Chains A and B, each alone.
Chain A
């Protein structure tokens, strides 16, 4: 799905989280929004996901205006930085939630849901944790990646890339870790103070930083 962002801006009361930004994300791309905290990257992602609505500007999904669509209508997958697992459900139930939430017409049978959840669990090589609750998992088992040791992080990044390539989805992720952004993404969007500083391939941004901020941020 091709995503077009046109002059999107967001204000929270007197503070401007996002100055008008424009961005075009080609279908099937793996895009990283990179910037320090407070740069507006999470606000932008939340607007794309439908969790926040812009003060002005538009979002187009495959050329159609999606700005006013509710979060459910967008059918955009969203991975939260602080994992946001349902703490009162087992891992199995957490994964099954999206399928169970579907309207009856399109909801798979219970057996089919079980099959698909177990397939996913074995895909992430944690087939035995289905019956545990989120608090019974180690920090590393809970999250896509975060404060993990370098080797596990690298493996998980590889895994994300594989899932992305296998599904053909358009993926946007937020990070303040430039290594993560550079290694994983086809396209990096560097943000600062609610503005886009530079858009380009990782090589581009390394070789030709457009602003002083980008140069300093990627050198850090």
Chain B
């Protein structure tokens, strides 16, 4: 099987002919595609974001910031950050464990496990919230027992953490499974034959190979954990200053026609998401050489 190409002397190219690679499209195709993508992104993503920022600032910057100084607002911000700080690391651990088991081992019930991981994506968050209320609420045996031992789950922070974890469980695992499956077991086997222990192999071979997918999964998980509304709305009880998260607070303020306060909180929530995205870009830029070397992200 031979690849061959007929070559024309460079000078023999017809007038107006420009060298281009085989994958290049004509200019009008390119600009039509780029233009339509920019238009869609502007209308769907950028404009709403700007509208939220603008709405928050209708009475000026001081009024916007002032609305956040409120004690209930600060409690909501604290609760949201705390819930994300608990739910995301736990989901990272469970996600890595699940992806590792699925990608590197063969066992009975693997297909079932994969389906189970996808469950939170296919079940409505409201249903997830109701499940937690049924399971841990005061009317259930488990809930009553926990309550008797001083741990209130529903209408308290533990319930919010559980609901958030349920909804965001698939993000890390879903990011990791395909990349771990593609990478196979060869590098781990090589490390083991070189005398590395299981833990060392995991820390020096498995983990570095998945770090970009892991980071991406963590960012998605974090963004969704901070933004989750439906499941948290069911389990939280919306007690101001206690079990109100930022998304719940936004809805509450909006329903009370406190639009500056509502949109300022919304802006802050959006900014938290943007910060995580910028963090990712910064890391990608910082480690671009390793990224290029590993050919993946």
Contacts and interface: CB of A to CB of B under 8 A. Distances in A.
Q: Which of B190, B204, B295 has the most CB of A within 10 A?
A: B190
Nearest to A93: B204
Nearest to B197: A72
Contact of A101 (B186, B187, B200): B200
A173 to B, nearest CB: 14
Given A80-B190, A133-B293, A101 B195 contact: yes
Contacts of B195: 72, 75, 98, 101-102
B197 A86 contact: no
Contacts of A101: 191, 194-197, 200, 204
Q: Which of B193, B205, B293, B294 has the most CB of A within 10 A?
A: B193
B294 A87 contact: yes
Interface string B162-186: 0000000000000000000000001
Contacts of A75: 195
Given A87-B187, A101-B200, A71 B193 contact: yes
B186 A84 contact: yes
A212 B2 CA distance: 35
A84 B205 CA distance: 11
B192 A51 contact: yes
B244 to A, nearest CB: 43
B42 interface: no
B242 interface: no
Contacts of B200: 101
Contacts of B70: none
B295 A135 contact: yes
Contact of B293 (A49, A84, A136): A136
B193 A78 contact: yes
Q: Which of A84, A85, A136 has the most CB of B within 10 A?
A: A84
Interface in A74-98: 75-78, 80, 82, 84-89, 97-98
A88 B186 contact: no
Given A72-B195, A101-B195, A135 B190 contact: no
Nearest to B193: A78
Contacts of B290: 88
A50 B193 contact: yes
A135 B293 CA distance: 6
A173 B194 CA distance: 17
Interface in A181-215: none
Contact of B194 (A50, A82, A97): A97
Contact of B193 (A76, A85, A88, A136): A76
A135 to B, nearest CB: 6
Nearest to B205: A86
Contacts of B284: none
B293 A51 contact: no
Contacts of B295: 87, 135
A58 B187 CA distance: 27
A97 B196 CA distance: 9
A147 to B, nearest CB: 13
B208 interface: yes
A148 B76 CA distance: 64
A133 B190 CA distance: 17
Interface string B191-221: 1111111001000110011000000000000
B191 A86 contact: yes
A82 B192 CA distance: 16
Contacts of A77: 193
A51 B208 contact: no
B293 A87 contact: yes
Q: Which of B191, B194, B205, B209 has the most CB of A within 10 A?
A: B194
Nearest to A132: B293
A20 B244 CA distance: 67
Contacts of A50: 192-193
Given A72-B196, A135-B295, 15 more contacts: A71-B192, A72-B197, A80-B189, A82-B186, A84-B186, A84-B189, A85-B190, A86-B187, A86-B191, A87-B209, A98-B195, A101-B197, A133-B293, A135-B294, A136-B293
Interface of A: 49-51, 71-72, 75-78, 80, 82, 84-89, 97-98, 101-102, 133-136
Q: What are the 3 A-B residue pairs with the smallest beta carbon separation, nearest first?
A: A133-B293, A98-B194, A84-B186
Interface of B: 186-187, 189-197, 200, 204-205, 208-209, 290, 293-295
19 contacts: A50-B193, A51-B189, A71-B192, A72-B192, A84-B186, A84-B189, A85-B187, A86-B187, A86-B205, A87-B209, A87-B293, A87-B295, A97-B204, A98-B194, A98-B195, A101-B196, A102-B195, A133-B293, A133-B294
